[in-house]
Amino acid sequence: MSVLVVGTVAFDSIETPSGSAERVLGGSASYFALGASFFAPVRVVGVIGQDFPQDYIDLFTQRNIDIEGIERADGNTFHWRGRYHEDVNLRDTLELHLNVLAGFEPKLPETYRDAEYVFLGNIDPVMQMEVLHQIRRLKLVACDTMDHWIGESREELKKVLQRIEILVINDSEARLLSGYDNIVKAARAILKMGPKMVLIKRGEYGVLQFSDSSMFATPAYPLEEVFDPTGAGDSFAGGFLGQLARSGDQSQGGLRRAIVYGSVVASFTVEDFGVKRLTNVSLKEIEDRYQRFVQLTDFHS
């Protein structure tokens, strides 16, 4: 079962306490696609500019990611520049150049329209909705968003929320969207907006999952070094939805195991700059760390 993602394909320029990287491959669709590619075939919808190098395209194709849906437009590629604090949970955006992303109208190749597992990465809710309209056989739609769209495009976002099954969002965004400081109250309020499930990402503190009937909490995998947190959330979503597509198991346990797979993928992502670790980690390493995650959290044996 394949997974379709729409989102940004970008240049990222990153400074962290551990070092810096200039114009490396970034964007929500890139991290999601690489993270999901260990579990299932992936198709990407996005836009790049004339300056996007073949080397970066090769990073997708080497992992058998279908890039037919990536449009090359006139102009330059979306470029984000950010700096992380000593506390890497905090970051500042220093530059943001939308470039070809401004006015992007996603068009799905015919072969993409039977997608069953869909991830609407963090882009304009209007673009997210355009993608949904073009898909014939929706089975499971997950969606991300960010403070900018919650503030500036709330009505459009609310329409999207009524069409999706799973909202993947970080804790500060959940507070902003719901108006509640308490994260349990925030999640309950968001469930009333449409999604059947809310996944709340808390960075190094793990993930909370809420539905009407259940609640799941899991820590993050503790790491001795976090080189670059960029893309942790998107690769988490990729591992999560990829594992769901691989297993076909949407039982309560199946969903929870997919959350743990997502956490494991994210733990690799932050071990090196940009997408680097995602391009050299193996499925065996992911499966091994999943087992270590089982041991990390087990208090029954």
Interface contacts to its own copies, rule CB under 8 A: 86-87, 181-185, 188, 202, 204-206, 208, 214-220, 222-226, 253, 256-257, 259-260, 294-301
- Nearest CA to 37 out of 55, 63, 13 is that of 63
Which is closer to its own copies, CB of 73 or CB of 189? 189
Residues 6+ apart with CB under 8 A from 96: 79, 80, 81
Which is closer to its own copies, CB of 68 or CB of 249? 249
As beta bridge partners, residue 4 has 43, 118
Which is closer to its own copies, CB of 52 or CB of 236? 236
Shortest spacing between CB 219 and its own copies, in angstroms: 4
Shortest spacing between CB 5 and its own copies, in angstroms: 24
Q: Residues 43, 68: contact at Cβ < 8 Å?
A: yes
Shortest spacing between CB 208 and its own copies, in angstroms: 6
At residue 99, the 3 state secondary structure works out as helix
Q: Residues 148, 140: contact at Cβ < 8 Å?
A: no
- Nearest CA to 52 out of 28, 24, 80 is that of 24
Which is closer to its own copies, CB of 102 or CB of 217? 217
Shortest spacing between CB 36 and its own copies, in angstroms: 19
Which is closer to its own copies, CB of 158 or CB of 256? 256
Shortest spacing between CB 116 and its own copies, in angstroms: 23
Name the burial class of residue 92, with classes exposed (0-12), middle (13-18) and buried (19+) by CB atoms within 10 angstroms of its CB: exposed
